[in-house]
Amino acid sequence: MNRPKLKQWQEPVNIDAYPVGSTCPSDHLTSINAGWRTYRPVIDTDKCVMCLRCFLLCPDGVIDKSGEKLVIDYDYCKGCGICAHECKPGCIEMVKEEK
Amino acid sequence: MRKFISGNDAVAEGVRLARPHVISAYPITPQTIAVERLSEMVEDGSLKAEYMHVESEHSAMAAAMGVSSVGARAFTATSSQGLLYMAECLPYASGARMPIVMMNANRAIATPWNIYGDQMDSMFLLNSGWIQVYVEDAQEALDMMIQAYKIAEHPQVLAPMMVNLDGFVLTHTYELVEIPEQDKVDAFLPPIQMSKQVMALDDPKSLCISAGNDFNMEFKIKQERDLQNSVSVIESVDHEFHEAFGRKYHGMMECYKTEDADVVLITTGSITGTTRIVVDQMRAEGKKVGLLKLRYLRPFPAEQLRIALRDVKHVGVLDKNISFGYEGTIFTNVNSALSSLDTVPKTTNYIGGLGGRDITKGNIEEAFEQMMSSDHHDKIQYMNVRCEQ
């Protein structure tokens, strides 16, 4: 999946090591962010027609289309369900997370 | 080349020489002529810059931040209500360490509605993280536009800078102004250097990131440390400017006949010129009076003030503002600086010029005479009031 990778956060050791100003390199992901999810979207890739509505409408951009089949990045999917709601063939199911 | 021009014209000439890439500005009296001149310069091709017509001062500063975030040189100008409308964006720019330069035409704040000059507007923004300088005349206004970029863009500073000139008294009066040669300015002020926080197409950045209660304080300490340390850059840039152009402004402040003075009046901006004349007159009468022209309010030259005023008996502070419920803002700052002296001079706050009220030579002479007399007087004195108080 062609997505930014998690980077280990190195805490600055002194004030000099802090960034100059409130700017940092983009794609600087320091942690996963999936704890909000109650239901996870699961794509039935056999039924999927690759219309890419879910890809276009996902507010967090976690649906990857670089491969032959769509893949959801569950590290950053918040479980909002927009993809399932918008999927015309109805091939995305919201499945309750089991802890 | 010398030209007979207004303070607003001088600002525009200085900005043209500094070669900004983008000017984003919204007109407001008494700044309007400065941005009109710049717009004409862009139109006639004598200034190769993008001129952005924005719908408000808030947008003017937001646009300037966009310009600065990709490493280009940004200029904007405002005044009074416009500055306050823009206020939300000012700490954004300073926190992101964007070396934007802005002219502010000091003007009264409503209400009562008033378009004339006092310094209430910029005092609101002392805590904004911007460097604040106040100029005495049109020549200094032009010269400070050039110095401002060099100071703001210095890698040890990286702070936005507000150049303040008194509305009407400076913006709309004419004087002979020396316009430096472009090649000399280019040698003094090289093109802006891309710094680490600047983004490019192949180096995307997240701007104005959040830092919560875990890391916010360290960012602020760094910003404060660098603004304090900008004093040495301000002084060295003024020194370099003197070598290149033959004019100097004495860095953070200028002491005029203070060495043996018993009584010193601290001024900012255009009233300094009037006070200079009064000091000369009173000196001719053998009275030991002096003038301290306070140029920078942020960073605040506390140590320099202590050194300059340690042997003075009485210090007056002329404030063209009131921090309602207390006193003049500069007075508070000066008293705080002097409080660590072993022998603290007496201090009096002269508040005047509000809403553009004249401060005459006579008013200033009265202030000096009052400070020299041993009679008791209230700590806060209003100058040139038209009725009984």
pLDDT at position A1: 62
CA–CA gap between residue B290 and residue B288 (Å, rounded):
7
CA–CA gap between residue B224 and residue B299 (Å, rounded):
9
- CA closest to B96 among chain A residues: A21
Per residue of chain A (99 residues), what is the pLDDT tens digit?
666 778 777 889 999 999 898 888 877 777 887 788 999 999 999 999 999 999 999 999 999 999 999 999 999 999 999 999 999 999 999 999 986
Of A25-39, A73-87, B50-64, B339-353, minimum mean pLDDT range: A25-39
Contact flag A25-B197 (C-beta cutoff 8 Å): no
Chain A touched by B220 (CB under 8 Å)? no
pLDDT at position B363: 98
Nearest CA among B154, B256, B116, B237 for reference residue B188: B237
Q: For residue range B69-79, what is the model confidence (pLDDT) as tens digits? A: 999 999 999 99
Percentage of chain B surpassing pLDDT 70? 100
Nearest by CB: A19 against B197, B221, B225: B197
DSSP string, A8-31: -----SSGGGS-SSS-EETT-B-S
* Contact residues on chain A for B96, CB-CB shorter than 8 A: 21-23
Chain A touched by B129 (CB under 8 Å)? no
Mean pLDDT of the region B216-234: 97
Mean pLDDT of the region B342-365: 98
Mean pLDDT of chain B: 97
Domains of chain B, CATH where assigned: 2-245 (3.40.50.970), 253-382 (3.40.50.920)
Contact flag B206-A18 (C-beta cutoff 8 Å): no
* pLDDT surpassing 70 at residue B230: yes
- CA closest to B129 among chain A residues: A21
CB distance B104 to B132 below 8 Å: no
As for the ipTM of the complex, it is 0.85
Q: For residue range B298-332, what is the model confidence (pLDDT) as tens digits? A: 999 999 999 999 999 999 999 999 999 999 999 99
Nearest by CB: A22 against B96, B196, B225: B96
The encoded tokens of residue B87 equal 């206020």
* pLDDT surpassing 70 at residue B246: yes
pLDDT at position A5: 76
Nearest by CB: A24 against B69, B206, B225: B206
Band of residue B202 on the pLDDT scale cut at 50, 70, 90: confident
pLDDT at position A2: 63
- CA closest to A28 among chain B residues: B206
pLDDT at position B181: 98
Mutate to test the interface with B, among A23, A26, A27 (most CBs of B within 10 A): A23
